[in-house]
Amino acid sequence: MLKFNETTDKYEPIREASVIDPTVFSLEESADENGVGHLFITARGPEKNLEMSDYCVNEGDVVPYHYHEYGSEIFFVTRGSVDAVIGGKQIVVNPGDMILIRPFMPHGFEYRENGTVWHEIIQGMDLWEGLTGLDRIYENCPEKIEDAAFMRDYFKTEGRVDYLGYPYLEAPAALPEDLPGFCGKDMYYKNYLLPGIECRIKYPRWKIDNIKEVWEFILDAGKSVSWNDPYFSHELMVVRKGSAEVEIEGHEKQIAKEEDIIHIPDYTRHRITSLEPGTVLQDFNVQYDLFLMLEELDIAERQGRISDDFVKECLGRYHCPITEVSGLFCL
């Protein structure tokens, strides 16, 4: 695997990345003696959806200022902090903050602390294929790595352009609300309060190529959610606070703690149970219309039209894979 070194202006080999099997895992498990580690979940489906690239990095590491011609990225920090420049504006990204980067939006990062944990969730780009392509260049024709024209053309084929040479830390400071795509720790588009669960939509469907939504769920202790019907889409969740018991069909029960990642493949039944009050789960691949469904249920409740039959019909109409929420309904 190669990494761009801004000091030498060269691509250099880095520690081999790990491709993740379906389970609960921690990024720290891949870190080397210097605290640096990389984990990948490869792109899925025709939209190249739900690719995840995680990094455990140290102070001074840099992603140079650049942009992509297509695809979107969501970045967030679970530990440490990052200087981000997005569209010519600079801000410090702290744990709990997220940034959505759309095509042609210039962006670059510098990590401020040793052991910073930085997650990148990618839609429509297939970064893994691009990185393995760099491996093939390095192994078969390493002299091409030094050929600026060749590398420029290579990155264009991967949906990327040249690094822009922006004076990285000289960008003007921005307020969070001025930064494109910024969604702070306590920011959300709208929330819905259900018994024992608060549902917050962080990025609606129309923000992410009309393919999926990003949600945050805050659960009381003992609250369980089950996906019992075969679901067409894989799940990717991150525990931001507290802990949860995870039951995945074909796997032993596991405990997901703060900063752990839950990765569940297509068509796999699973159940997640909060073990602590205020456990926070973020779901980065909601491909059914959860926002519209909750809007309809909210309106129906205020109009006094809620019943078990109405909820069941609503779940089916929106192709919702959640078939049990303890204390709410069980179908």
Q: What's the CA gap between 259 and 42, in Å, rounded? A: 20
Share of the chain above pLDDT 90, in %: 27
Tokens of 11: 């691509």
The pLDDT of 190-209, averaged and rounded, is 92
Highest mean pLDDT among 24-28, 176-180, 285-289: 285-289
CA distance 99 to 75: 5
Q: What b-and-e string marks burial along 75-107, b requiring 16 or more CB atoms within 10 Å of the CB?
A: bbbbbbbbbbbbbebbbebeebbbbbbbeebbb
Which residues 6+ apart lie within 8 Å of 309 measured at CB?
Answer: none
pLDDT single digits (tens) 224-256: 998 876 666 788 899 999 999 999 888 889 999
Give the pLDDT score at 58: 82
Q: Which amino acid is at 234?
A: H
Higher pLDDT, 176 or 257: 257
pLDDT in tens, 30-59: 666 666 677 778 888 888 888 888 878 888
Q: How far apart are CA 303 and CA 291, in angstroms?
A: 18
Walk me through the domains of the chain, giving residue ranges and CATH numbers: 2-183 (2.60.120.10), 190-330 (2.60.120.10)
Taking the chain, what is the end-to-end CA distance rounded to the nearest angstrom? 47
Q: Is the dihedral of CA 99, 115, 255, 262 positive or negative?
A: positive
Are 77 and 120 in contact, with CB atoms under 8 Å apart? no
Q: How confident is the model at residue 163 (pLDDT cuts 50, 70, 90)?
A: low
pLDDT over 70 percentage in the chain? 81
Query: Residue 125's closest CA among 148, 155, 151, 99?
Result: 155
Cβ distance 101 to 73 under 8 Å?
Answer: yes
> Cβ neighbours of residue 8 under 8 Å, at least 6 residues apart?
none
- pLDDT for the residue numbered 204: 95
Task: Establish how many alpha carbons lie within 13 A of residue 279's alpha carbon, considering only the half-sphere containing its beta carbon.
Answer: 28
Residues in the chain: 331
Question: What pLDDT, on the 0 to 100 scale, is given for residue 15?
Answer: 41
β-strand partners of 294: none
